[in-house]
Structure 1
């Protein structure tokens, strides 16, 4: 039997009054059937699949149970990915409607099944993102966040890697028109739109570009990649409106370039899904105490200054504008030198000392802000782990093979190096790493990050043992999908 597929979507945006909606959010469903195996891929414009935001923890089991009971598709063959678009308040319709509307999209996709061919490939886009874990000269990490300032430029030694690949699966009807495009990219969706309303963020705009250019009812499904530490390049920019549409247009056009280069053919399906247990962190109390000690040391380093901001700023600008003659024209200094006076020079030395001390206090304040945010975050995740009442957390690792392409999932915010490693080691021609899928366990960072102080490790509930456990299972599933 030839491969068959159907696609459909349902809007899942909140209907609450007084909520600004810039562009609607969708649950998009692609159903594939090769005669022996049925697969459902669902792409949702949501923050996370349970554990965070508007989607509750019981969404996945309820949706899979309904699909299994009503549509005769095994729940383990259903992949649900969160784009990780960030909220400005409530994003989604109520809990029961989320399940009903998503299920309705799957039902419609099944009703519209038609014979198709499939192919895969990679696009490339390196102009949109950067690794937010800045490498510091003391070998630590400083994470670029909205919640605290960036470090002093003189303390930064480099930036980490990004993943510029756009993984693409193209599904064509037999007449050659495109039914669906699944595309995968590692990013973090934070910039939003000028009105700061509800938005699918730049993948929403990218999907619109893809769909409008392909026409014939083609549907684009975005799968979030290993983007835990990958941020929009202009995230901290204060000189332009926060508007992700230009980024979405660029991503969409780059994905389209890849789509048009892909040749499709008949394809077979395979699915494997296994549960593993990931170790929870046990050292969070120690990490809290370490940060509190850092805080105490910084507080002790603060020293008195005669300036406040009102007097500091004009002085700082004046001395930066003309360091040689800051207080007056050059002739005043030259005249003083000629008559043996040092009044201006003495005043400048006094002012520079006050300026330097005020700047050191500002830099200390910026570090203290970061520490306070870290402590609050650590306490939050300590509470989560204590509430769980068990040393491990269940995680699903799912692999889906479509022709020469494999999708491997993780229920966490994988950092980019994990995704790059999975793709490099994969035996498949093309591999899509679909993080943020089938659940949510917060951040999942490489082991060597754990002592570098980055935000993702601070905001992580998993112990460093998670990496080996997860990667061994992911590599095993990728090999089994290949038949090795």
Structure 2
């Protein structure tokens, strides 16, 4: 009896020690911080407009008659457990702030993603229809919101990296100094110093009036086992064109988005990969080498060549990307009120005279009647506009959003002055408000600076750069 009791006491003592040790282990485990997890999701939604809607991008809109390739809203959502951010890139010329505002209301009521943490932008394809059309605006805002909902649903543990590679062969500054004053007449009865899109290979061309940005920046997102989930690229190239009149197309942005997946190992039988190409600061950049005579291309040929090259270059740089399984995320935005440009008395008198002329009268400039209407609308319209400026942060990368067709040198300045290790800018983001030249480019004149093409005060770019750099600084320091 006594021996049995001693054995029982020994077992109790041993069990007590085990429970104590286990309790200590569990207590230490509970004290350890939970490992941070990055999740990402991507999705697309078809935003092809109804046929008959007007295709815009030139001075005379015309009805859409055929869909060559569908237009999409492509979304990438990032969630690090502390902050959620999203990008939505839409195949459209430019989407006004009211359409985006409607989409944000859907997102706010249907998801837990803060609407102010979403960057929405248009690619600037010139073969899409007006976003604010009564028949299209509700569909467009609804589909933008749907792309965000689907991307949120598709979230999974992920890793992220980013990089860039130069491809200067496809970007050219389209504003030129020229020795022929006839090339530089403007619709206001004067003569500019530079000309947009001058005659190709002409002996009067002197030099481009500004720089280019050759960098293709990109963000790559993979599953933890290395399966490509999404890739968002950015290139400062206006658009390419070469579309049959009346046909809807996403231009080279859409071709790139469809091709990049196969080049980086995305498998069509797995969860769909989402490729995305946003427009950088390309307000004065296009795909035409004006120093040489042009060669005629087949329809859609040139945009396919550009998309193939850009995709191939990204795929080359993709191999060198270093991935992280968690990064800080952030979003910051600010509103800026800008004055609207107004015609003075002399300009009003000039256009009154232009409009009073008979139709057969000689014209000083072929677009003088168009600008008479544009200037009058500015005169009759509001005296100021308020725009949204935004910066998103992904680790040591910052992405700025500007709601204008933004001159290249503005993007270069932001890259140079950002406190982050890397940066790029998406133009036509969160709104569509015409061109944004620098004050120095305003002095040179040219299409992009004309009142009616540019709507806001001459020093607007200086104010915008200052605010974006301030937003970058706050995100960088964690304020």
Give the alignment's TM-score, normalised by structure 1. Answer: 0.76
The answer for the alignment partner of 1:240 in structure 2 is 297
Query: Aligned equivalents of 2:370 and 2:416: distance in 1?
Result: 33
The answer for the alignment partner of 2:275 in structure 1 is 220
Query: Aligned equivalents of 1:293 and 1:163: distance in 2?
Result: 42
2:196 paired with 1:150: no
Judged with a 3 Å threshold, the aligned counterparts in structure 2 of structure 1 residues 457 and 481 are, in CA distance, closer, same or farther, namely: same
Which stretch shifts more, 278-287 or 417-426? 278-287
Q: Is the 8 A contact 2:329 2:394 kept in 1?
A: yes
1:342-361 alignment to 2 at 5 Å? Answer: none
Query: Aligned equivalents of 1:456 and 1:290: distance in 2?
Result: 20
Picking from 221, 226, 238, the partner of 1:176 is: 226
Query: Aligned equivalents of 1:409 and 1:26: distance in 2?
Result: 20
The answer for the alignment partner of 1:62 in structure 2 is 102
Query: Aligned equivalents of 1:465 and 1:15: distance in 2?
Result: 39
Query: Aligned equivalents of 1:384 and 1:436: distance in 2?
Result: 22
Q: How much does 1:88 deviate?
A: 6.3
Q: How much does 1:185 deviate?
A: 0.7
Q: Secondary structure at 2:336's aligned position in 1?
A: strand
Judged with a 3 Å threshold, the aligned counterparts in structure 2 of structure 1 residues 205 and 286 are, in CA distance, closer, same or farther, namely: farther
Query: Aligned equivalents of 1:286 and 1:154: distance in 2?
Result: 35
The answer for the alignment partner of 1:278 in structure 2 is 338
The answer for the alignment partner of 1:25 in structure 2 is 71
The answer for the alignment partner of 1:188 in structure 2 is 238
Query: Aligned equivalents of 1:213 and 1:74: distance in 2?
Result: 34
Judged with a 3 Å threshold, the aligned counterparts in structure 2 of structure 1 residues 75 and 83 are, in CA distance, closer, same or farther, namely: same
Q: Is the 8 A contact 1:118 1:403 kept in 2?
A: no
Q: Is the 8 A contact 1:427 1:479 kept in 2?
A: yes
Query: Aligned equivalents of 1:238 and 1:284: distance in 2?
Result: 43
Q: Secondary structure at 1:58's aligned position in 2?
A: helix
Q: Is the 8 A contact 2:127 2:251 kept in 1?
A: no
The answer for the alignment partner of 2:456 in structure 1 is 462
Q: How many residues align?
A: 401
Q: Secondary structure at 1:220's aligned position in 2?
A: strand
Q: Secondary structure at 2:341's aligned position in 1?
A: coil
The answer for the alignment partner of 1:3 in structure 2 is 38
Judged with a 3 Å threshold, the aligned counterparts in structure 2 of structure 1 residues 190 and 90 are, in CA distance, closer, same or farther, namely: farther
2:472 paired with 1:478: yes
Query: Aligned equivalents of 1:285 and 1:418: distance in 2?
Result: 32
The answer for the alignment partner of 1:382 in structure 2 is 375
Structure 1 stretches lacking a partner, 5+ long: 51-56, 295-364
Structure 2 stretches lacking a partner, 5+ long: 1-35, 53-63, 182-191, 355-361
Judged with a 3 Å threshold, the aligned counterparts in structure 2 of structure 1 residues 226 and 113 are, in CA distance, closer, same or farther, namely: same
Cα deviation per residue 1:194-221 (whole Å; 9 max; x = unaligned)?
5762111112111222022231332112
Q: Is the 8 A contact 1:118 1:171 kept in 2?
A: yes
Q: How much does 1:247 deviate?
A: 1.2
Q: Secondary structure at 2:169's aligned position in 1?
A: coil
Query: Aligned equivalents of 1:462 and 1:377: distance in 2?
Result: 19
Cα deviation per residue 1:15-59 (whole Å; 9 max; x = unaligned)?
427722211110011111111111121000011011xxxxxx521
Query: Aligned equivalents of 1:114 and 1:403: distance in 2?
Result: 19
Give the alignment's TM-score, normalised by structure 2. Answer: 0.77
Cα deviation per residue 1:369-393 (whole Å; 9 max; x = unaligned)?
6x332x3454344234334322x21
The answer for the alignment partner of 2:88 in structure 1 is 42
2:445 paired with 1:445: no
Cα deviation per residue 1:64-105 (whole Å; 9 max; x = unaligned)?
111112102222111101000013667897222212222222
1:30-429 alignment to 2 at 5 Å? Answer: 30-50=76-96, 57-87=97-127, 94-137=136-179, 140-144=193-197, 150=199, 153-159=202-208, 160-193=210-243, 197-214=247-264, 215-216=266-267, 217-233=272-288, 237=294, 239-243=296-300, 244-265=303-324, 266-283=326-343, 286=346, 371-373=365-367, 375-390=368-383, 392-429=384-421
